[in-house]
Amino acid sequence: MATTLATLREIRHAQRADGPAAMLGIGTANPTNYVLQEEFPDYYFRVTNKEHLTDLKDTFKKLCRIAGLEKRFFHHTEQLLNANPAFVQGTPTALDARLEGRGRQPPPRP
């Protein structure tokens, strides 16, 4: 039994770091493009060309008010979505179009 406790202590000691703890950094990685939450329903229905669905838009506005967010952050812009209508479709070809638009290289690290 004593050897088991000694072994457990050795394992725990080996898993701990020596020296003081250090905080390396605190920050956020929010994209630069954002839409205010109160403007988001209008933006969403405009970008998806669904402005004729007013009953859904009213319901969506209520949901956005309840969410309690101030901003919605995006990696895309409205100009990019207008130039590439396949991005807003929910089809497998839309995913292919988005991946092509991204390019072969991974996104840059901040």
pTM over 0.75: no
How big is the CA angle at 80 (ends 104 and 87), to the nearest 5 degrees?
70
Mean pLDDT along residues 61-76:
87
Question: Max CA-CA distance within the chain?
Answer: 76
Question: Mean pLDDT over residues 63-68, rounded?
Answer: 88
Over range 47-52, report the average pLDDT: 86
Higher-confidence residue: 88 or 71?
71
If we measure between CA atoms, which residue out of 70, 71, 98 comes closest to residue 84? 98
